Chains A and B, each alone.
Chain A
Amino acid sequence: MFKIILARLQQGHRTIKYPDGPPPELSDRFCGRPTLDAAKCLTGCRACAEVCPTDAITITDQAHIDLGKCLFCSECAASCPNQAIAYSKDYRLAVRQRQDLVITQNQQSLNLEAEMSAKLKKLFGRSLKLRQVSAGGCNACEADTNVLNTLAWDLGRFGIQFVASPRHADGLLITGPVTENMKLALKKTYDAVPDPRIVIAVGACAISGGPYINHPQANNGAESVVPVDLYIPGCPPHPLTILDGLLRFLGRHNADFPSLVS
């Protein structure tokens, strides 16, 4: 008994202050939102598009980087002969619309306005119960979602909780590319969630199929089965990226918070 009390004192209070304080420090090698300086592109060069494992970079009249397909592996930055692509430390990546995940020279920043409708916010703003469905991913997105429940992040502070049954849930949080073998289970779970309901797609797999794009055994993401309300890119997205996305979705803080970290 005493050992338990002593341990409690030793371990200390470790819940992060964010969002009431600055976000936790990220590694100096962290790859956040990529930046594009097309002026540095060499004519006819397609090195980044060719090296990208998921073909997230397409070059038509200009380069497009689709963060929904991006694995944040930074092979593009490494292959660029002129440092036209770099990865910033901006961890704020979650958006409401799929098309808002595409970065071009003219559209470098993401549309971070992500607040749910007033009607949904009235219902879910202070109490959001989510059912997690793992639909064929590698388990890293699940792990970094799970970590939000640990005491450093403490998702419960915001009234967000993961529940055991879709019947108790306000929506789904989906990870994985939706394998053929999970397609029906995902559909049934979605159907079991009472209306109104929301769907959050976490990770490259759930948004576009990730490394498994166009595999016959998978279905290129959650939209093959259900409509998606919030997209959180990454492979896996850092817990801070997921948390920031959830908080903006609930209107707990807005697109300007905090000021841009480059």
Chain B
Amino acid sequence: MIQNNPRLATLINGRAVPLEAIAMLTLDDFQQAIVEGVAVGQRVSAMFGAMVQPKANAVELYVVLADDEQNRLYAGRTRIEDDRFLSLTPRCPQVHLFEREIAEQFGLKAIGHPWFKPVRYQHSWTSLDAWDRPSDQPILPGVGDFYRVEGDEVHEVAVGPVHAGIIEPGHFRFQCHGERVFHLEIALGYQHRGVEQSMIGGPNKRSIHYAETLAGDSTIAHSTAYCQAIEALARCQKSARAQMLRGIALELERLANHIGDLGALANDVGFLPTSSYCGRIRGDLLNITAVLCGNRFGRGMVRPGGVGFDIDAARVSEMLRRLDAAERDTTVAVNLLWDTPSVMARFENTGPLPRGIAIELGIVGPAARASGLMRDIRLDQPSGIFRFTHLPVSTCDTGDVFGRAFVRWLEIQQSIKFIREQLSAVPAGSARVAVGSLLPNSFAVTLNESWRGEVCHAAITDTHGRFARYKIVDPSFHNWTALAYALRNQEISDFPLCNKSFNLSYCGNDL
């Protein structure tokens, strides 16, 4: 039986606790608690630094562990007064990027970290720099040592930041032997806009807009997490109607992106029928979201206290009519994929992510589910409408491009069913309620299952009820490493296909 670690505070998704309820541990106890939690199957949802008392020179480190079996979260903290800390990564690989981020943001050296490099190529928030770079010099993105494989016939391929298509920037460094990839290293940070820094001192009139544009294709997921954090800290109850409308918006977002992804996967193997049909149908789904709130990406839909737009019977039947048409078209378009041997030959056994690696790296979302892991926030840490309605979790166990595509297809079918069920019985209530001020000196964590996976927001308020720290973890922050792993021993020409099978967010990672 999985026991709660007595040194950590127990939390629920979407509830705030007083900050003092999170015990201040020694670094040893803090790290040991994480190791023990992960050993019994918990995941690190977030590990981050915060300068909660700006006058003190100490940096506090926080961890949020997710216990999917027990549907609980555990939080702990420690304080680093030095300019360095012993890295936990050798004992717990899934914190590797979190530790690099802490080093970059707070200037702390992670001693013993096996791959100690910047994450976003940004300046430190403090007067310290973990790589002793002068603070008045610009930091060049992507510049540094990359993992190299030596050998006469080994060659290096560098791609990006500007890519061939209409896509966000990122840098990919391949170590290749002929067509075979030995190793892929990914360097991001090109989309770094400084959002976390700008959230401090909020909420203010820009905060909801930051939340909506963290990752522009995950507007609903991130804005819901943000609004839930506000509501947790303001002890605000939303109506069942608002909860349901948020759930519908989230599932519409999932549908649009999954359909688009299946089209893009078809495109990457040169299968134009599904590619062209799905490209269009995705637009039809975005237009259903626009019927709801006027904007194809859901901007303006989720607001603190509820939703920005209500529905009526006429709007419901219009949405259902469009959903029916989209379902018919999608079913025909997607089933072509599984029936076409040339497509399946490209999808199957390409870019495999073994289940054990997915666990070790803390992978989330459809990529984890395609490797056989039953991880879905809507089931494991449900909030909002998902406390009352459960969608079956879609898994596959092949862990390859086919698995990641098939999981998307299963989720498309589940989301359509969910939306129909919810719209057939819309609860009464107001669309939006007023939200008061935030509790001071409190800590709240909110999680949501975006279409890429777990979104985690953690908010800490100061004595005035303003944000002293606002941590955002997009699912891509966990999953970019999975893409790097999946490319090993693959053909470099399969890189676009593998990349698309994960379809991670660059700006969600870069913030």
Contacts and interface: CB of A to CB of B under 8 A. Distances in A.
Given A7-B277, A7-B336, A143 B169 contact: no
Given A27-B287, A140-B216, A164-B165, A217 B122 contact: yes
B162 A136 contact: no
A151 B279 contact: yes
A8 B275 CA distance: 12
Interface in B150-173: 161-162, 164-169
B141 A211 contact: no
B209 A179 contact: no
Interface string A189-228: 1000000000000000000001110011110000000000
A181 interface: yes
B362 interface: no
B194 A162 contact: no
B296 interface: yes
Given A176-B191, A215-B198, A138 B216 contact: yes
A147 B283 contact: yes
A141 to B, nearest CB: 8
Contact of B210 (A74, A165, A211): A211
B507 interface: yes
A71 interface: yes
B297 A151 contact: no
A140 B287 contact: no
Contact of A136 (B192, B279, B286, B299): B192
A140 B165 contact: no
B273 interface: yes
B206 A53 contact: yes
A45 interface: no
A134 B339 contact: no
Given A136-B193, A139-B168, A147 B507 contact: no
Interface in B177-199: 189-194, 198
A125 interface: no
A245 interface: no
Nearest to A30: B294
A179 B329 contact: no
A91 to B, nearest CB: 12
B300 interface: yes
Given A138-B214, A238-B296, A51 B205 contact: yes
A161 B198 CA distance: 37
B317 interface: no
Contact of A211 (B213, B283, B333): B213
Given A11-B332, A151-B280, A137 B216 contact: yes
A63 interface: no
Given A4-B336, A74-B300, A165-B164, A27 B290 contact: yes
Interface in A38-82: 50-54, 71-75
B276 interface: yes
B305 to A, nearest CB: 13
Contacts of B217: 138-140, 143
B46 interface: no
A11 B329 contact: yes
B190 A30 contact: no
Interface in A212-262: 212, 215-218, 235-236, 238-239
Nearest to A214: B198
A152 interface: yes
Given A133-B162, A139-B217, A145-B166, A27 B333 contact: no
Given A73-B299, A152-B280, A211-B213, A136 B290 contact: no
A185 interface: yes
Contact of B291 (A8, A27, A54, A74): A27
B332 A29 contact: no
B234 interface: no
A150 interface: yes
Given A181-B161, A211-B213, 7 more contacts: A3-B339, A29-B309, A141-B216, A179-B190, A185-B162, A217-B192, A236-B296
Interface of B: 120-122, 138, 141, 161-162, 164-169, 189-194, 198, 205-206, 208-210, 213-217, 219, 273, 276-277, 279-280, 282-283, 286-287, 290-297, 299-300, 309, 329, 332-333, 335-336, 339-340, 505-507
Q: Which 8 A-B pairs have the closest CB atoms?
A: A138-B216, A29-B294, A140-B216, A150-B279, A217-B194, A164-B164, A181-B141, A138-B213
26 contacts: A11-B333, A27-B287, A27-B294, A31-B295, A51-B205, A72-B295, A73-B300, A74-B300, A132-B165, A136-B507, A138-B213, A138-B215, A138-B216, A140-B213, A142-B166, A143-B217, A150-B280, A164-B165, A176-B191, A180-B192, A181-B121, A181-B190, A182-B169, A211-B206, A235-B299, A239-B283
